[in-house]
Structure 1
Amino acid sequence: MTSGPILVADIGGTNTRFGLAGPSGILDGTLKRYSNNDHANFYSLVAEYLNLQEVERCSKACLAVAAPVEDDAITLTNRDWHISKAGAREVTGADDVRFLNDFEALGFAIDRLSTDQVLHVAGPKVATNSDGARLVLGAGTGFNAAAITCGVDGHPKVRAAECGHMTLPVETTNELSLRDHLAQNRGRASVERALSGQGVLEIYEWVCGQANIMPQNYTAQEIVHLAIEKRDESCETTAKILVRLLARIAGDLVLAFLPLGGLYLSGGVTRACRDLISDDLFWQEFTAKGRQSNLLRSIPVFLMTDDHTALEGCVTAMIGPLSFGHLPNSMAAQVAGIRT
């Protein structure tokens, strides 16, 4: 194998995160996060990072991307960045370049998580079937999910999806009005029109319109922060709508994939709503599935708290699971469940 570290990257619509890895995992001092707005394209960004790390050539590169992965080139869903394997080989020097969907990477990461990287937030603390399928989902710049099962070789098998583009499920007349607002000039309202950073802003705009008040020039993070601190009624209403929709969609996906090994939440918007997810509001909506409500009540819900989790998944994809002593699959959910 060509000498040099493995480059791992998590390329989202808003930010890109990098790390360098060796046989024992991510190397100390190599984690770095960049704002995509500061760079014209991915290639200039990765060149800047490798120059900072004084790396002339990588042995391999694994790029987790917020986009469908179908061939040797991708375009990010929420940013006009086109990335090809050929271009990545040229800028990194790596002969072996692999694309993963970013939620596929999160799925690969689950078995590498230590107890300070995952938090129990709802439901039972221990999965009834710790070897069962698991599901990771969440909201950030967009929304997505991935299902994780254990293959016959003992390695995780992750099925990527594009759940953010499913139709937004609404149940009340009020929610129909919100759906119409989110669908304006778009023809339809997808899940990530609500469950995303931009979605927070648009729900807030709709809430203010319903109350006949002028919306403030808040960021999505400020809206959630003000909601948690109960300092702005419109922000509180916005955050509650967001959490209800997140819980409802999470429950629907649990019914689709039956992740008896647990549900794992991720994404910047999801993490910002952590205190609200820990309240009864999320759990009540999540388990409101009629005759299958008891099934939903058996699912433990965890939150991935580390912003660099997808990079751990890239390491797993390139050099295999459990290469540096994290917890085995049969123990991960149990130990994570100890944290309250």
Structure 2
Amino acid sequence: MTDLTGETGFSLVADIGGTNTRVALARGPMVDRATVTRYANAEHADLSEVLGRYLSEKGVTDRQIAGVCVAAAGPVHDGVATLTNLDWRIDRESLGQRLSAEKVAVLNDLQAQGHAIGNIDPADLQEIVPQPPASDLAAKLVIGLGTGFNACPVFDTAGGRFVPPSEAGHVSLPSCGGAMQVLVEAMRKDHGFASVEEALSGRGISYLHRVLHGETVEPAAIMERLDKGETRATETGRAFVQVMGTVVGDLALSHLPFGGIYLVGGVTRAFAPWLGQFDMVGAMRAKGRFSGFMEQFGVFVVKDDYAALTGCASHLSRL
């Protein structure tokens, strides 16, 4: 990377997942892709240790960092993030003291994805449904399927962008008959509660396959079988996409994202080639007398795996 000795005004951005943390440097809303580095969480005691290692490896001092923004895979309340799948606690105040930064922010990872919308290369957006004409201030909706599930609306207002936090993955999974009815009944029996995240996540693929076919198979193996056209994997893939479409449609009606729906996350990208074949849009629009109304929402898959980092940088640039 470029020699940063003597330079200042950089932002430090980080995306903390359950397994890995990615860290990068940014100027304004733009992330320097050459500086992105991934660290295994299991090898570090906390985020402070990760950031310290990163700065040391890049030859950057605390004084060169003007702002820091962290995206965490878990709920954020009053600047404190509690990660769902990692025993780390991220505190905005402590983070600011550690780096002596002027601007400090802690976001939920889906909030960061929301802040990235509008700053993503069009080449990294796969169009599923064309976006009808809409106001620049029309609400947008980001939905993430990965290790977990979450969703958040994006509001552009005269006062700036507002991306409220959410824990949408832990709401009840709708029961609409067919595979969904079987899935909900199995979850209630096994877990006492049927949540969206237990169905629409990496582990959800395996769980759905077991419910439908009575065998336990890892998600990656199911996707490999799906690529080969294996019957059981195809049935699982179709059911997964149909459940996905139903939930996406429910969320669209809750938030009315006339500015578009953006699907993010590793599971989303894995299923992107199958969304058309398995009619995700049909399931999304199957809302009775509101089916025609649902045609107003464009749908895109975000292929940029660094979008959360871009969102962190964009958010800092607006503070």
TM-score w.r.t. the length of structure 1 is 0.84
- Seen in structure 2, the aligned counterparts of structure 1 residues 35 and 242 have a Cα distance that, compared at 3 Å, is farther
- Seen in structure 2, the aligned counterparts of structure 1 residues 16 and 157 have a Cα distance that, compared at 3 Å, is same
Give yes or no for contact 2:28–2:316 (8 Å, CA) kept in 1.
no
2:141 is the counterpart of 1:135: yes
1:18 to 5, 23, 35: 23
- Seen in structure 2, the aligned counterparts of structure 1 residues 37 and 84 have a Cα distance that, compared at 3 Å, is same
- Seen in structure 2, the aligned counterparts of structure 1 residues 185 and 295 have a Cα distance that, compared at 3 Å, is same
Q: d(CA) in 2 for partners of 1:320 and 1:95?
A: 13
Describe the SS at the equivalent of 2:118: helix
Aligned equivalent of 1:200:
205
Describe the SS at the equivalent of 1:317: helix
Q: Where do residues 162-173 of structure 1 align in structure 2 (5 Å cutoff)? A: 162-172=167-177
Q: Where do residues 205-284 of structure 1 align in structure 2 (5 Å cutoff)? A: 205-209=210-214, 214-216=215-217, 218=218, 220-230=219-229, 232-279=230-277, 281-284=279-282
Q: d(CA) in 2 for partners of 1:5 and 1:197?
A: 35
| Structure 2 counterpart of 1:236, one-letter code | T
Per-residue Cα deviation, 1:215-253 (whole angstroms, up to 9, x for no partner): 34x3x23322321331x3222222222111111000001
Q: d(CA) in 1 for partners of 2:22 and 2:276?
A: 27
| Structure 1 counterpart of 2:216, one-letter code | P
Q: d(CA) in 1 for partners of 2:120 and 2:179?
A: 40
Q: Where do residues 58-77 of structure 1 align in structure 2 (5 Å cutoff)? A: 58-77=65-84
Moved over 4 A (4+): none
Q: d(CA) in 1 for partners of 2:273 and 2:39?
A: 27
| Structure 1 counterpart of 2:222, one-letter code | I
Q: d(CA) in 2 for partners of 1:227 and 1:91?
A: 47
2:68 is the counterpart of 1:97: no
Q: d(CA) in 2 for partners of 1:3 and 1:43?
A: 20
CA shift for structure 1 position 158:
1.6
Aligned equivalent of 2:61:
56
Give yes or no for contact 2:16–2:73 (8 Å, CA) kept in 1.
yes
- Seen in structure 2, the aligned counterparts of structure 1 residues 28 and 255 have a Cα distance that, compared at 3 Å, is closer
CA shift for structure 1 position 86:
4.0
Q: d(CA) in 1 for partners of 2:296 and 2:178?
A: 31
Describe the SS at the equivalent of 1:116: helix
| Structure 2 counterpart of 1:233, one-letter code | T
2:173 is the counterpart of 1:144: no
Q: Which runs of 5+ in 2 are unaligned?
A: 1-6
CA shift for structure 1 position 44:
2.5
Q: d(CA) in 2 for partners of 1:126 and 1:173?
A: 30
Give yes or no for contact 2:70–2:106 (8 Å, CA) kept in 1.
yes
Q: d(CA) in 1 for partners of 2:156 and 2:56?
A: 38
Per-residue Cα deviation, 1:261-312 (whole angstroms, up to 9, x for no partner): 1111101111110011133521110110111111112211111100000111
User: What number of residue pairs does the alignment pair up?
Assistant: 310
Percent identity between the aligned chains? 35
Decide which moves more: 174-183 or 258-267: 174-183
Q: d(CA) in 1 for partners of 2:8 and 2:102?
A: 11
Per-residue Cα deviation, 1:51-75 (whole angstroms, up to 9, x for no partner): 2222221222101111221123221
Q: d(CA) in 2 for partners of 1:113 and 1:130?
A: 19
Give yes or no for contact 1:78–1:142 (8 Å, CA) kept in 2.
no
- Seen in structure 2, the aligned counterparts of structure 1 residues 292 and 91 have a Cα distance that, compared at 3 Å, is same
- Seen in structure 2, the aligned counterparts of structure 1 residues 178 and 307 have a Cα distance that, compared at 3 Å, is same
- Seen in structure 2, the aligned counterparts of structure 1 residues 113 and 40 have a Cα distance that, compared at 3 Å, is same
Q: d(CA) in 2 for partners of 1:177 and 1:159?
A: 33
Give yes or no for contact 1:60–1:96 (8 Å, CA) kept in 2.
yes
| Structure 2 counterpart of 1:303, one-letter code | V
2:6 is the counterpart of 1:5: no
Q: d(CA) in 1 for partners of 2:308 and 2:162?
A: 15
Q: d(CA) in 2 for partners of 1:15 and 1:183?
A: 31
TM-score w.r.t. the length of structure 2 is 0.89
**What is the alpha-carbon root mean square deviation over aligned residues?**
2.2
CA shift for structure 1 position 189:
1.5
